[in-house]
């Protein structure tokens, strides 16, 4: 099978491309040297090579940024990828951020998204992209949550950068459950999605874990002498709103450390039902593990 992987120069796309290259003809598209260059925001490819399937991993993953830029990458870029290969199987790597961030997610099913309520342009743009992909007759949409593992440039660095002395500030009680998605499980799902029935599927590790367990295990694996320090949800959320307003007023080019989006993913349960993937294509994920995190 000949497969085009967009965003192959990134964390997820790179892992997918490397894994599939073992038994498929993989065309790697990215915006860095060493890849087939393609800036998806500028339009479809004018003379695309024929492919059987597309795994669309390209996108902007940030909870703070100009709305126009995020929509250009996440929505317009997706439209251009679809237009380039309209007849191919289209595997769209989306996100659990398409669900309503204002409420807890308790074993949330695919039918509950995409929401039209969002805290930032990231969630809104990914939800809009999903709605466009759903028009394609041969599309599979995967919704991972909090992807981690070797090569992670977003989740792990953000957690570690929050450590202050011997404390890691967090929000809530620590008892709230969360579903995480290892890069290996997401790669497994992308491979299976090539022949899965069209549809939308949550993709996570085998079972949820508590936030406190995740943070303490990660700190231990990284040999960091710190422990989580939990802050009350409502005051911290109010503070985040004030910080965001101040950054917007100052037109700061750098993102605030504290955002309402980040808090919404820490302070409330974020668990997702993966029954649909288990039934449709025998998705059998491994448990959450931070073993060897010291080398990531």
For residue 292, the 8-state DSSP code is T
- Check residue 63 and give its pLDDT: 83
pLDDT at 43: 97
**Strand extents, DSSP E, the chain:** 2-6, 25-30, 36-37, 53-56, 89-93, 105-108, 139-144, 147-148, 167-171, 177-178, 181-182, 199-203, 209-210, 227-231, 270-272
Give me the half-sphere count of Cα atoms (radius 13 Å) on the Cβ side of residue 218: 22
* Closest by CA position to 274, among listed 146, 173, 144, 174: 144
Residue the block writes with tokens 């074993």: 107
pLDDT tens for the chain, 296 residues long, are 999 999 999 999 999 999 999 999 999 999 999 999 999 999 999 999 999 999 999 999 888 888 999 999 999 999 999 999 999 999 999 999 999 999 999 999 999 999 999 999 999 999 999 999 999 999 999 999 999 999 998 888 888 889 999 999 999 999 999 999 999 999 999 999 999 999 999 999 999 999 999 999 999 999 999 999 999 999 999 999 999 899 888 888 778 888 898 888 889 999 999 999 999 999 999 999 998 888 88
Q: Are 23 and 1 in contact (CB under 8 A)?
A: no
pLDDT at 185: 98
Q: In the CATH scheme, what is the code of domain 2-290?
A: 3.40.50.720
> CA-CA distance, 276 to 187, in Å (whole number)?
17
Cβ contact 126:98 at 8 Å: yes
Give the pLDDT of residue 7. Answer: 97
CA–centroid distance for 199 within its chain: 18
Q: What is the pLDDT of residue 191?
A: 98
Domain spans, the chain: 2-290
């Amino acid at each position: 099978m000949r497969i085009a992987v967009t965003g192959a120069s990134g964390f997820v796309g790179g892992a997918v491309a490397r894994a599939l290259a073992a038994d498929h003809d993989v065309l790697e598209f990215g915006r860095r040297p060493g890849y087939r260059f393609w800036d998806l925001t500028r339009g479809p490819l004018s003379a695309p090579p024929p492919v059987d399937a597309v795994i669309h991993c390209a996108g902007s993953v940030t909870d703070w940024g100009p709305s126009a830029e995020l929509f250009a990458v996440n929505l317009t870029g997706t439209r251009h990828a679809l237009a380039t290969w309209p007849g191919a199987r289209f595997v769209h790597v989306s996100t659990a951020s398409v669900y309503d961030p204002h409420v807890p997610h308790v074993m949330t099913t695919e039918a509950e998204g995409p929401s039209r309520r969002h805290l930032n342009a990231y969630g809104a743009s990914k939800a809009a992209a999903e709605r466009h992909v759903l028009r394609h007759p041969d599309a599979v949409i995967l919704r991972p949550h909090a992807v981690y593992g070797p090569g992670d440039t977003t989740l792990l660095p953000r957690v570690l950068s929050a450590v202050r002395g011997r404390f890691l500030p967090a929000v809530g009680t620590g008892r709230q459950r969360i579903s995480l998605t290892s890069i290996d499980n997401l790669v497994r799902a992308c491979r299976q999605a090539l022949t899965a029935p069209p549809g939308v599927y949550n993709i996570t590790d085998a079972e949820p874990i508590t936030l406190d367990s995740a943070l303490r295990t990660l700190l231990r694996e990284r040999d960091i002498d710190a422990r989580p320090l939990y802050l009350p949800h409502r005051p911290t959320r109010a503070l985040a709103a004030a910080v965001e307003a101040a950054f917007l007023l100052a037109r700061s080019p750098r993102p605030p450390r504290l955002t309402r989006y980040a808090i919404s993913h820490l302070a409330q349960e974020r668990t997702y039902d993966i029954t649909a993937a288990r039934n449709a294509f025998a998705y059998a994920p491994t448990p959450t593990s931070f073993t060897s995190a010291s080398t990531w």
